[in-house]
Structure formats: C-alpha cells, structure tokens
Structure 1
C-alpha cells in the first residue's frame, strides 16, 4: 500500500523516486526517502494508474486523474516530462484534503479548456455558470463591462433563477456601484452581508430578491480593467479569501476569453468594413474619367452614404462648399442616404438640385469639445450632442458624427452621420474617416479633372491663337511696310499739303465768288483729310485713346458734307447701274469728336456700300437722337454678307475685294468709333443688304450751347503791332507759303531755306519770332532752336513739322517752343501769332 507522499514512476511503471508526507496528527517532520525496493517490492498498481502509464509510454496526451487507493487514501496522477523522458508523478493524500483539491483543480482545468474552446460569449458564459456551481455557492452569476467615458455599465452576460429585472445587453448608470469601484481600484470586493453594506446602490435591489452576499472580481487585460466577474448568493458570508484565490485564475481566463471574442468580432467587423472601403475605392476608380462631371461625383457620394448606412449608421449626409457663395463657411447638400422622412427627403432633394446654401460647415473656431473629434485648422469636428452642422437640421439622433473633408489643411466640406443607441467608438470613427478619405479623393480628382479640362481648352485656345498670331504676323508685315513707306514720304507729303492748303487759304482771302469759295472749302477739307489719313496710317499700330483734338461736331451737317464730297464716286455710273443716296438728317445732332476722322468712317461705309451694289441700288443714311445718344445708321440694298464675313469684318487686312482691297478701312473705322467712346454694329444677310449702326454719346447740352455761342463770336481784330518773323524750312516753297500766310495776317516774314544762314541773320538782325521746320539737313529743328536760344533767349519760337504726333510735350517745354502741325492752317498760325503778341506785351509791361 502507498502511504501519503510524492512518487515518481517511469512509463513502464517502475518507481524512480518517493518522498513521504508528514502525519497530519503528529509533529511536523522533514520529508524522508523510502527504501524503495523493500517497501514497494510487492506493489500492486490500480488499473487506472496502469492505463495512464500506457498512455504516457505511447506518447498520447493524458489528463491529470484522481485515483482511489482504497478507503483510506486517494492519489492524483500527473503526466510529466523530464528532459526527453516521459514520467508519471503521483501524489497520495488523506481522503478529505485530496478530494477537495482534486475536485477544484479538475473543475478549473475543465472550465479553462471549455472557456477557450467557446467562440461566442454565450458559449463561454454557459460553461462558466455551469462549472462554477461545482466550486462556489452561487445563486446568480454575471459579467459586466464598464464604460469609463460615460460612467455606464453594460450587462455582458448573466445567469440566475429568473428573479432579476436586469437583462443581458442592458446599460445602466455606474454611479455608486460595486462594479465601478472595482474597475477604478482594480481590487476585488467581498460583501459578506449585503444588508450591512450601504455604499453601493445596486444592493437595495438585491436585498429585495433575497441576495445576502456577493463577490465582485476585476477582469483585467493588459493591465487594464475592462469589467467585473460577479457571484451572488442568498447565504451570508458565502465568500472569503480562499474563494478569491480560487476565482483569480478563473477571472483571468474569462478576461482573456472576452478579449478574444471582442477581437474576433472586431476583426470580422473590420474585414466587412474594409471590404466596403475597397468597393468604394474600386467604384471611385471606375467612375472617375475626363468625361464625368458633377453628376457622376454626386452619384459616388450618394453611394458612399449608402455604404455608411450599411456599416450601422441610420442617416448620412454630404455637404460641400460652393465657391460661388459669398461666405467661405456656406455649404450645399451634395448627397444623402438613410432613414429620412418623406418630408426631409423632398426638402433635401430640392436643396440639392438648387445647390441651396444651408449654413455653416463647422463648429465655433477654437471651441474645446468633448467626445471623439479632430481639428482642421481652427475648425473642430466631433461626435456628440454638441455637434454644430447644417446636418443638425436633418439628423434626429443625438449621436451625431461630423467628419471634415479637407485637403492640405483646407476645408471644403463635411460628412455627417447619426444613429440611435450607443455612441460611436474611435474605431468606427476611423472607418468613417477612411471612407471620407475616398470621398476627398473623388472631389479632389474631380476638381483636378475639371481644371485639366480647362487647361486643355485653354491649350486649344492658345493653339488657335498661335495660328491666328502667325497669320497676324504676316498681315502685320504689310502694315509695317506701309508704315515705313508712310514715314518715309510723310515729310515731303505734308510739305506738299502745306503748300496746297496754304495757297487755298491765300486764294480764299482774295476771292469773292461764292461758287469758287465753296470749291476752295471742299479742296481744303479734302486736303486736310488726306493729311490726317497719312498720320493715322503711321500710328495704326497704337490706337489713340485721347480726346484732346475733339471739338463740337454737327453729325447731320457732317453727313451732308461727306455725301457731297463722295458724290463723284457714284455720279459717273451708267444709267443701268444708278445709285440713289438719301440723307435723312433733318435736325442738328451734336457730339464731341474729330470731324476728319468721322468723315473717314462715313466715307468708308459709303464706298463699301457702293462696292456691294455693282448693279445699282439705294443707300440711306439717317441721323437722329435716341436715349441720350446720337445714332448714325447707314443702310444699303447690296449683296449682303455671310456669317464668316460679319465675324471677321473688323479684323485688320481682312478684305473681300481681292488685290484692290487693303482690309484697313473698317478696322480703322472701328478704332475711330471706339476712340469716340461709341460702338459700331452690323446687320446683314446674303442677298438682303447691310445695315451699319453707329452710336455716340451726345455732347452735353450746356457745353453744346457754349461752343455754338463761341462760334458765333467774331474773331478779334489783329493786333496793331506788326511782328518780324524768321521762317526757316529747307523746302523754299513751303517756307514761302507760310510766309505769305504770315504776310496776309499783317506781319513781316523773312524767308530762309538754309539753317546756317538763318543763324547768321539772327546774329545780325532783330526778330520777334522764329518759325522752323524739324527735319532739315545738316542742322535739324532742335539744334537750330538750341543755337537760337543762345543768341536771343527771349525769342518766341514755333516748331512747324509734319511729325507733330511724335513730339513730346516735355521736349517742347524744355526748349520753350510751341508746336504747329503740317499741313498748316491759317487759323492755327493766326492763333500762334496772337499768343506771341500777348506774350510780348506781358514782357514789356
């Protein structure tokens, strides 16, 4: 027979080692070794122990076993390994001690095995409740989880006799509860008599149901208390410190099992959510292309709202910023999904279709907010009842999450969702943020695509512009050549016009016949127009914007005069191609402008109309006032124009007349009208004629009256003083013409064609004024003026030139000279002489 002690057998059943245990009734003694061969030579092993030896010898997994050794002793056998050798350890003890310890060990091992085999919390807790009754006195067992952020308790699992009012899944306040105390302190709490314990509010309910004692043990995972394992009994003092030691390994196994179940569920949820995110990403990839617009983006956002609802949210809403809104904080509804009411859906659809402004996107800048939130710049986004968003109008639940749509720190929208029940976890918020990141990509890419489309359109426009530019460059070469030619001949041409206009003025001074005078007037106007045309061709590349040369112009009178001047153009046609020109200008219509330029515009219109009527027709020119503007309408019955011709009508060098056309007439006319702050419009159809409408601002009434009154005042009589004037020009005929005009005005001219000889005469003779040309050989006008100033500092000087448009006012001021443009007008010379006389009188006084 084996006496109480520890024994070690090999797999064949041979005893390897033995140690005695002290007699419980005697004095304590040190363990001592047996004489193994003598004591156990006739040992007969129980059949259960023999089968254990066989299992160990065959390498099979064997569980610990409790073995009866007759009525006086029990033994517990354990399979062990020592190095590579397989052995069996046997502990023999007295009946009471052995039974209690072995039963507890067996129950704990079975519970541990079954707990970790369970895949759901229900399976785990059924094992716990069933096996715990073999170890502990209990009438009620439960597992509770504590929510620290809300101070709430969730009943995770429970088993009792059905008398409790609490249900699994219920969430109650954790205020003044034993569970909250254990979680916060991390220590178990034993209440031997609930009736005597007043600290915790839950005990009041337990007393009503007959519970008297309880054990609340913390469930700890990775040093963090997640909840409690609770046992309650209707017996007083049912639990003690030995119970705590017994429950400790059980609570550790339960905590690990709960954590594993939660992790498994979380992984399952994460897998499902990530699959939806991948679906979103694939849908984004397939829906974005260069041909999609806002509608495609809206569809994707709506689908993302539906995904959010699939992930457990009841309602989801996208609001985006609209750059067209005046405030950067205003937004419109872009997409939505979920359990909205019919009225809400109708309202949201209307707001979405109209892109109606619905309010602010974010909370108060700088506000400190509780709950799960993140910040973009100064804008806070959060989970909870304090969320401020346009979505608050349509979200019914207090559990609202608002997630910003931001890129590079710039906010351009929000996503909001809500649901009833538990608050969203940080993990759920993170999943939503992943979803929103995809939405951000959609919106950002759509904007990039829109920008790319604009750039492609701009590239196409630039390509067309470049082609037009090359064509324009070719055309500009024609203008440059024309400008160089005009510049080369301008001096001589203006000198010729000076002689013509000067002689016309002289003839008018000596002729009294009205018919001759009228002819001379017409010749004078035509020559002046010719001079202005040459000047504008020189300056064609730069459109004039000034109005310094504007004067009061009677548009009605100007039309009549222009028709009279242009009459020879159509009067010589044959009888079969007759043209009738009608002027409808019954009343004066005054504007401020340059009469020469306006005559050129009207002449171009008349000549173009004549070219459009090779077989004759009618031209009607009307002048009238309308809505504080002056209207000049020229209508013909010619062949009309195509749409292409109308589109390019005012382009420089565009002509439909072949080689004989320059393509400058209407382009110059357009610039002239623009300079007069007017506009020119054309209406035409092929075969139905053409209508040009010119609109100008009227001259102010008060200014018109004043100018008309001034025109009626007779010119003042010439001053009685006679001036002696030196006229210098390398073209003697020009100098003589200017001299004759000066003599006509009652002064003494001295003509000199050589600038050097003129300087000698200034040194030798006395003169009141010097009139000099600019472009002269050897000594030009500026050099002559500089030398003259040295000789006579107070001499009055006038620069008479055909390059007047190129002269800067600052140059005139520095040389103290006045400017007279060629071809010269007798009135301009008269005005200059009057000013010189006035200056001399001022100097004398």
Structure 2
C-alpha cells in the first residue's frame, strides 16, 4: 500500500463553523487531515510557501489587510485551491474553472472530500514510492549504525591520543634538543591537538543528556563550524559570524548540533569556491505570536539558490537532489526537532543571477518548555510520516 502525506488545510478567521465540528465531520468522512489556523497575511504567505497546503478555507471577509480577491490571486499563483465558506452560496457543489469555490458551511466537509480525492488521483505515488521508502529506510539505518560504530572508535582513540601528547611533551623537555627538532615537535603537538578537538566534537554528536539543559547556541554553532573547518578551508569560503546575543535556551545539545550541522553542511555544499556563508544569532520574537520571545539563528549562503519546484518539496521524507549521496531526511528531521521546542524553520531562496543564495532561519523560543522527547527510537522516528512544515 502506498504511503501518503497527511493533507494540510489552512483555516482563515471568521469561518461560520467551529474547527472541532470540522474535524469531527472529516473523521466521519474517513479523512485524515491536519488543520492550521492562520490569522495574518504574512502567516498565510509563509504557510503557502512552506507547507504546500492541499487547500485554503476562508470566509468572505478574508484577512486583515488582505481581502478575498487578494487571497484568490495568491492561491492561483501558488496553485492551491481556495474554498470560500459563505451561507449565501449555492447549496449545490457545482464544478468551476475558477480557483475559488463558494460553498455553504454544511457543504465544507463534502467539498474537502471531493477536492482531496481529485488531487490524490493526480499525484498518486504508486508502488514505486514504497520501494523508494524501504530503500531509504535501509540506508538511514546503516547511517545510524555507522554513527554508533564511529563514536565507539573515537572513544577508543582518546587514550592513545593522550599518551602521544604526554610523550611529545616529555620529548620537548629533553636537554640539548636541536632548535629544528623543537619546531617539528611543536608542529606535531598542534596537529595532535587538532585531532583531539575533532575527536571531542565527534563524541559530542553521539552523546546526549537525559533532559534538556540550558545551552549557549553560539557555542554549539561554533562547534559545528569547527567540525567543518577543513571543508571550509578547501573551498576557501568566508565565514561571517554575527552573534548579536549570547542567549541560551533549554535544548538537547546533541539535537541542536544535528540541526546546525545539517544547515551548515548544506550551505557549504551549495556555495561555490571563494563564496560566503553568514551565520547569525539574535534575540527575536515569534512572527505569528509576538508574545513568544526567543532566539533566531540564521544560516545564509551565496550558492546558486533553490528553484521553486524543489522548494515546494523540501522537507518531504526521502526527497533529495543529491542522488545516492543523500537520504532525504536531513531537513525533515531538523524541522521535527525544532518544532518539538515550539520553534519553526523558515526558508528564503533566490536563483536570480544578480542576487542568488539561500537563507535558512530557525526560531527557538526561550520562554516555552520543550516537549518531551524519547531518544531511544531515532530510527522509528524517521519512519513516521506526519505533516511536515517545510521551511519558508
């Protein structure tokens, strides 16, 4: 049986039907749906870009500063169907060539059912998706096992590293040692320190605390940048750090390293030689709810940008543009991690030759308690296909 994503429905204010009643009606019609309430024009545009909704449901009043006519134009440009719930509408569900259909509140569940079945027939994945799913899961399981084996090897390497460090120190203290030998020993000590640093950072990725702890995000980001220092040097990339705050928040450090690592690695890969990557941390508030304060982490690159057709699929489990080199799980897992902290991921990208590049922006609240997370089923987590809010 082919697996499908849970359809997302955007609900605008002023609907003459309670959301709970709509969910009940959907269950009675045997539809599994995810509903998101949208209160502002900015949030609607962000959701359309990031979430690939199946449809938008609005009232005749539309949104503040965004009338139904503008919502209709936005829906047409994004190829998202629009349902306008109006008691004055016809009680019949007649097909229309327009992207917007006017329906009564009573007909909304039926209209959603017809619309979703039509779209499902157009985009059915087919049996091949099952094969891709299974193959990707096997590859992901191999990566998890490889990560655990690597952590074990790194742990075992630490003891001989410490012994070599001590021996080099003793050798440097030998009387009558030529100046050139001193120089070589100093260089060897520096390189050995670098190996030890890489070893510690690799272990940090595999270790995790039992509960979220207060962590300095700039420190975690620096650790990730240090881990990729050789790739950065090889491509002669310029890294611009703009740490405007040293604020901390309660997170699982290993999880955040994983999120930052995914964004930084993607930025390095997308950026041409001698390009520029900017990382920024600043105090901020949630765009959709100014009462929620937190930290915004931005990773921007001067790469070629992401085409719209690819952006629309970013975050789908197992969707990748890297062929056999990618698993298609990086952004999906990162988004899931951020959302558990009540945060969000936004994406902006341009492929215009004069101004190209990609910006990923993460918001993490500092005044919300993170959701409980179990770290004993990472592979099972990757098996769950739920509604994924792709970055916008």
TM score, norm. by length of structure 1: 0.26
Deviation of 1:445 (Å): 9.3
1:648 aligns with 2:313: yes
3-state SS in 1 of match to 2:320 = coil
Contact 1:652 1:664 (8 Å CA) reproduced: yes
1:549 aligns with 2:211: yes
Describe the superposition over 1:773-805 as per-residue Cα deviations: whole angstroms up to 9, x where unpaired: xxxxxxxxxxxxxxxxxxxxxxxxxxxxxxx93
Q: What is aligned with 1:672?
A: 337
Alignment counterpart, residue 583 of structure 1, candidates 241, 256, 262: 241
1:481 aligns with 2:138: yes
Alignment counterpart, residue 224 of structure 2, candidates 553, 562, 565: 562
Deviation of 1:555 (Å): 1.1
Deviation of 1:526 (Å): 1.7
Distance change in 2, residues 1:630/1:463 (3 Å): same
- C-alpha distance in 1 between matches for 2:145 and 2:93: 60
Matches within 5 A, 1:429-508: 452-463=110-121, 467-468=124-125, 470=127, 472-485=129-142, 493=150, 495-501=152-158
1:572 aligns with 2:248: no
Q: What is aligned with 1:383?
A: none
- C-alpha distance in 2 between matches for 1:521 and 1:615: 26
3-state SS in 2 of match to 1:677 = coil
Aligned alpha-carbon RMSD (Å): 4.1
Matches within 5 A, 1:350-429: none
3-state SS in 2 of match to 1:805 = coil
Deviation of 1:647 (Å): 1.5
1:606 aligns with 2:264: yes
1:662 aligns with 2:319: no
Alignment counterpart, residue 200 of structure 2, candidates 503, 524, 541: 524
Distance change in 2, residues 1:518/1:464 (3 Å): same
- C-alpha distance in 2 between matches for 1:487 and 1:519: 23
Distance change in 2, residues 1:469/1:666 (3 Å): farther
Matches within 5 A, 1:811-830: none
3-state SS in 1 of match to 2:321 = coil
Deviation of 1:671 (Å): 2.3
- C-alpha distance in 2 between matches for 1:502 and 1:668: 34
Q: What is aligned with 1:620?
A: 278
Deviation of 1:503 (Å): 5.1
3-state SS in 2 of match to 1:605 = helix
Matches within 5 A, 1:23-62: none
Distance change in 2, residues 1:517/1:572 (3 Å): closer
- C-alpha distance in 2 between matches for 1:488 and 1:615: 33
Contact 1:592 1:699 (8 Å CA) reproduced: no
- C-alpha distance in 2 between matches for 1:445 and 1:651: 32
- C-alpha distance in 1 between matches for 2:168 and 2:212: 30
Distance change in 2, residues 1:633/1:497 (3 Å): same
- C-alpha distance in 2 between matches for 1:523 and 1:665: 23
Q: Which runs of 5+ in 1 are unaligned?
A: 1-321, 326-352, 355-441, 536-546, 701-803, 807-845
Contact 2:154 2:202 (8 Å CA) reproduced: no
Q: What is aligned with 1:638?
A: 303
Q: Which runs of 5+ in 2 are unaligned?
A: 1-14, 19-59, 62-89, 95-103, 170-185, 286-292, 369-374, 378-392
1:805 aligns with 2:376: yes
Contact 2:341 2:364 (8 Å CA) reproduced: yes
Deviation of 1:486 (Å): 5.1
Contact 1:620 1:636 (8 Å CA) reproduced: yes
Deviation of 1:638 (Å): 1.5
Deviation of 1:507 (Å): 7.1
Q: What is aligned with 1:692?
A: 360
- C-alpha distance in 2 between matches for 1:698 and 1:569: 32
Deviation of 1:682 (Å): 0.3
3-state SS in 2 of match to 1:640 = coil
- Based on CA coordinates, which of the two structures has the bigger radius of gyration? 1
Describe the superposition over 1:590-636 as per-residue Cα deviations: whole angstroms up to 9, x where unpaired: 11222233223222222222222225321111111123211111111
- C-alpha distance in 1 between matches for 2:147 and 2:226: 28
- C-alpha distance in 1 between matches for 2:91 and 2:125: 37
- C-alpha distance in 1 between matches for 2:120 and 2:365: 36
- C-alpha distance in 2 between matches for 1:488 and 1:563: 24
3-state SS in 1 of match to 2:260 = helix
- C-alpha distance in 2 between matches for 1:699 and 1:519: 38
Structure with more contact order per residue of length (Cα contacts < 8 Å, sep ≥ 6): 2
3-state SS in 1 of match to 2:351 = coil
Distance change in 2, residues 1:591/1:468 (3 Å): farther
3-state SS in 1 of match to 2:376 = helix
Matches within 5 A, 1:208-227: none
- C-alpha distance in 1 between matches for 2:93 and 2:338: 48
Distance change in 2, residues 1:444/1:323 (3 Å): farther
Contact 2:349 2:357 (8 Å CA) reproduced: yes
- C-alpha distance in 2 between matches for 1:510 and 1:672: 43
Distance change in 2, residues 1:494/1:461 (3 Å): same
TM score, norm. by length of structure 2: 0.53
Deviation of 1:570 (Å): 2.4
3-state SS in 1 of match to 2:211 = coil
3-state SS in 1 of match to 2:314 = coil
- C-alpha distance in 2 between matches for 1:443 and 1:580: 61
Describe the superposition over 1:402-450 as per-residue Cα deviations: whole angstroms up to 9, x where unpaired: xxxxxxxxxxxxxxxxxxxxxxxxxxxxxxxxxxxxxxxx969997977
- C-alpha distance in 1 between matches for 2:300 and 2:122: 34
Alignment counterpart, residue 683 of structure 1, candidates 344, 348, 351: 348
